[in-house]
Each structure stands twice: as structure tokens, then as C-alpha cells.
Amino acid sequence: MTATATEDRLEQSLLGMLGKATGCCLGVAGNESGAALVLPRLCLERCLDGRPENLRQGGCCWLLETLDNEAADRPGPTVCRRGLSVQSVVLPPASGSFRLLVVSQPGRCGGGGGSSVLLPDEEAAAEVTARVLRLCEEQRGMVDEVLHVYEQLHALFAVANALGESSSVRGVYDAIAISLQEHLHADDCCIVTGERWEFEFPGGTDGAAGRLRRSKLELIFEARKSSERVEVLVEQDLAELDEELGERFSSVMTGCIAHGATRCLIGLFRSAGQAPFASGDMCVADSLLRYSATAARNMRLVERLQAVSTQVVRALVSAIEAKDAYTSGHSVRVAELSCQLGGRVGLSRERLQALEWAALLHDVGKIAVPESVLNKPAALSPEEFELVKSHPVHSAKIIAPIQELTGVLEGVLHHHERYDGSGYPDGLAGEGIPLEARLIQVVDVFDALITQRPYRKAFSRQEAAGIMGEEAGTVLDPELVQQFLSMVDLS
């Protein structure tokens, strides 16, 4: 609902109540030429088909003369071409610069058909009308305020939804910049982060701001890099900084997301010819930036906790791998390369996080395998090989009680399945093997081949690539092998 529609309905309703009290149908017009506020209901129904815009398209002659001030000084009522008694009453100055438009069926109003006025007490009518108009003005301000608050709430809910989908501090920055651009009808937006002033454009670099030279963008943000207030530069301000900026933009709004020592500047741009940002826009931006600062601070804490958790797991894995002198650092290397390969095949950020944990923990079950077996320089006996083959199951059992690592289990449990179905522990085949397990397996095989083992020397990277090529389609996923070999440095 628009403010105008609400105001019109209020004024019509209050004037309708006053009209019933006087027996007339009332409207209000401004004293300035052409300034109509509310047209009388009878005029709308009889002459204008209920549409005010019909007034100047063959509508009521009396209304046209009255609104154009030609009939403002005519005393007493007259009869319009539809047979209605009509009168324009100029209200006293204390009531405001308005005139009452009084319309009635002949003989239905005030002093009767022979009366010189339609309203018997113009002074009382003026006082009541002034009160009506004051109420409408107050309501107009309330409607504007309510709509402004609604706009802020709508933007806040939209930002909250966008932030809920963000999984990093940078995601928070992008979400708030794009939301502000959308809700404040800006043509372009940019993000400025880091001590070296890194300019990013979440909506792409095709916009007017994205095509600017970096030096010109720096002019806008230089004086505001330490400010946390929302500020607006209008055309004149921009022209003083640089002639091209003044020609290209009607206004630029800058704000800041500050959380601790970390700061991110947001810039919103409106092109030349558009209305500049208003104070209401600044209020919306300030509210959303303050809200997003809390979200960014919380996300930073989450990132730090994730980093600490990963470091703790790496330390524990390293302690376990110390049992096997030949595989020290193996799980960390597998985790790093698995995430690179996962990103290459399009895994989401959440799945990449799970993949990293799975790769770090894939061999943790070797803690159940005796060191004598892990470090045996000769071929393993069938019984010993069965002990080694049990480590994926032991790894899964160790991880299973940790609810937050539920999504990691399949990658850990099945990283020794073979593409042809001859692997362990469950004999899964092809794409029946979870993708995370197939990714870990490819990297696991490569790292095992280029690492010295108690029973053989390390292969060169090119030799390892040749072996993996031979095993593609039998042991390894052929598509992932191709992706991996095109990614890794084989020199």
C-alpha cells in the first residue's frame, strides 16, 4: 500500500463524516491554481466515472473553474450542469490555504434551496475542516514513518536470509553489498578490503563503478577509510574530487562494516540522471551495516574455531602417523590435494570442508594396526594384510560418535573401494562409491606412490602418473584421474 493511497482514503473518510453532519458532500482544494486534494464524492460519481484523472478530459466545468481559481471569488452557491448545488468556500487563513468544495442535491443542504450558502456556519465548517486537515497531515507523517520502518524491516529480513546462507566473512560482505544495491536501487556496488585496498564488485565489473580506474575509486574512499558513518557524496561533491565522477554519478553512498580491527568499506553508486540518495536511504544502510557487522564478527569467530579445530586434528593425525615413519605428513598432503581436486570438480564450500576433514582422518584407524605390521619391510602375510584392510572401518568407528562429523564418514569408510568393485570394505563400484571417497582415493594413491615405503623406493611423479593412468577404470575413477593429472605438477 502506498502512502498516497492511505492519505487519500483517510481524507475522504474524514470529509465524508463531516459531510454527513452538514448534509453536504465535501471536497478540499488548495488555493493555488490546479491544487486539488480531495474531490467531492458526488462529482466523482456523476461526472468523472469515479476517476479523478477524467477531470481535465471533458469533466466538470465548475470544478475546473474552481481549481483554476476562476470561480474562487463568486459568492453563494450555483447550480452545475448536472443540477447539483455547488459552492467554493474560501477558508480563513488560520485554517490553512484551502477551500471547501461543497456539493449537494438541491434543497438537501444547509439553508435550503433559497439559501445564499450551502453551509449554514462557515466558521464552524472552517474549524472542523482545519482539524481534519491537521489530522491528515499527522497521518501523512505517520504513514511515511511506518512505510520507512517497513522498508527497513523488509531489507533486514532479506539481508538476514542472505547472511544465513553465507559461510565466510567474505560471503557476509558480498551479501550486504548486493542487498543494499537491490533495496536502495543503486546501479552498482563495490567492496573495499585489506590494507592494500582491494576493490571487488559482487555484481560484476560491467557497471559504471566497475569500469572506473582504481585511482578514481580511491578518491572516493580515501577520506572515508577510517570513518564508520554512512555518508553520501552528491554530484557537486563528486565533481570537486574529479570531473569524470561528477559527470558519471548523481551520488555515491559509502559505509563501513567494522568488526574488531577488521574493516570493510561498502560503496553504492547511482548514475547521473537518477535521484541522489536521501536521508531515508542512509538510515536503511546504517541499520543494515550495523547488523551485518555483528554477523561478520560472529562469522570470524566461526572461522577461527574451524581453523583451531583443523589444527588440533592435524596435530592428532601427525601423532598417529608417527607410528609409521614412512607416512608422516601423508594425511595433510592428501587433504590439501583432495580439496584442490574437489574444487576443480565443483564441490560446494560445505562439501569441501567435509572433504578436508575426511582426508585428514581417513587413516586414523591405523592406530589399531600394530607398528610391526605398518613398518614391516617384507611382504605382508594374509593375516597381516587383513589387519591393514580393517583400518577404514576402525577410522569410521572412531569418527562415528562425533555428530558434527557425520558427513565425513562415507569418505573415510570407502576410500579403499575400487572402481571395478574389487575393493574393501563393501565392494562398491563405479559411481556407487561416494564422490568424496573417490577423490581421496586418487590423491591417496598418488601420494603413496611418490613416498618411500619400507618395502620399496618412491616412484617419480611421472612414473606415478603412468601407473595411475593404467589403473584408471579398474582401481581409480578415470575422469578424476584425468582431472588430477592435469592439475598436479608432474615435473
Question: Does residue 397 lie within any of the structural domains?
Answer: yes
**In this structure, are 26 and 115 located in the same domain?**
yes
The CATH number assigned to the domain holding 230 equals 3.30.450.40
Collapsing DSSP to helix, strand or coil, 323 comes out as coil
Question: Does residue 153 lie within any of the structural domains?
Answer: no
Tally: H helices and E strands in the chain: 18, 10
pLDDT digits (tens, 9 = 90+) for 200-228: 888 776 677 777 787 888 888 887 777 77
**In this structure, are 53 and 183 located in the same domain?**
no
417 and 428 Cβ atoms separated by less than 8 Å: yes
For residue 299, pLDDT beyond 90: no
Question: Does residue 415 lie within any of the structural domains?
Answer: yes
136 and 10 Cβ atoms separated by less than 8 Å: yes
Whole-number Cα distances in Å, 443 to 223, 326, 368, 480, 488:
50, 17, 23, 10, 10
The CATH number assigned to the domain holding 355 equals 1.10.3210.10
d(CA 61, CA 220): 56
**In this structure, are 171 and 291 located in the same domain?**
yes
β-sheet bridge partners, residue 453: 456
**In this structure, are 209 and 358 located in the same domain?**
no
pLDDT at residue 7, as a whole number: 43
**In this structure, are 58 and 91 located in the same domain?**
yes
pLDDT digits (tens, 9 = 90+) for 262-294: 788 888 999 888 889 888 888 888 888 888 888
Collapsing DSSP to helix, strand or coil, 140 comes out as helix
**In this structure, are 131 and 217 located in the same domain?**
no
Q: Kindly give the residue spans of alpha helices, DSSP state H, lying in 322-427.
A: 330-344, 349-361, 371-374, 382-389, 391-399, 409-413
pLDDT digits (tens, 9 = 90+) for 81-137: 777 777 776 665 555 566 767 777 765 554 444 444 455 555 555 566 666 666 666
**In this structure, are 214 and 119 located in the same domain?**
no
Mean pLDDT of 433-438: 96
Question: Does residue 423 lie within any of the structural domains?
Answer: yes
Cell of 259: 568488526
Closest CA to 320 of 425, 395, 381: 395
| Residue 181: Cβ-neighbour burial (10 angstroms; 0-12, 13-18, 19+) | buried
More confident residue, 241 or 224: 241
Q: Which amino acid is at 284?
A: V
**In this structure, are 134 and 188 located in the same domain?**
no
Counting the structural domains of the chain, the total is: 3
pLDDT at residue 108, as a whole number: 52
The CATH number assigned to the domain holding 134 equals 3.30.450
**In this structure, are 17 and 97 located in the same domain?**
yes
For residue 443, pLDDT beyond 80: yes
Helix (H) / strand (E) containing 133 = helix 122-164
Closest CA to 259 of 292, 224, 222, 303: 292
Question: Does residue 314 lie within any of the structural domains?
Answer: no
pLDDT at residue 91, as a whole number: 61
**In this structure, are 329 and 456 located in the same domain?**
yes
d(CA 9, CA 436): 62
Cell of 160: 538476514
Question: Does residue 156 lie within any of the structural domains?
Answer: no
**In this structure, are 106 and 194 located in the same domain?**
no
More confident residue, 446 or 308: 446
d(CA 421, CA 426): 9
d(CA 216, CA 195): 18
Please tell me what DSSP assigns to residue 119.
Answer: S
Structural domain of 182: 165-300
Whole-number Cα distances in Å, 234 to 58, 125, 248, 276, 278:
44, 46, 11, 7, 10
More confident residue, 332 or 86: 332
287 and 213 Cβ atoms separated by less than 8 Å: no
Collapsing DSSP to helix, strand or coil, 189 comes out as strand
338 and 356 Cβ atoms separated by less than 8 Å: yes
pLDDT digits (tens, 9 = 90+) for 130-156: 666 666 666 666 666 666 667 767 777
Question: Does residue 359 lie within any of the structural domains?
Answer: yes
Question: Does residue 159 lie within any of the structural domains?
Answer: no
Please tell me what DSSP assigns to residue 408.
Answer: G
DSSP string, 270-284: EETTSPPP-HHHHHH
- The phi, psi pair for 181, rounded to 5°, reads -60, -40
**In this structure, are 195 and 267 located in the same domain?**
yes
107 and 118 Cβ atoms separated by less than 8 Å: no
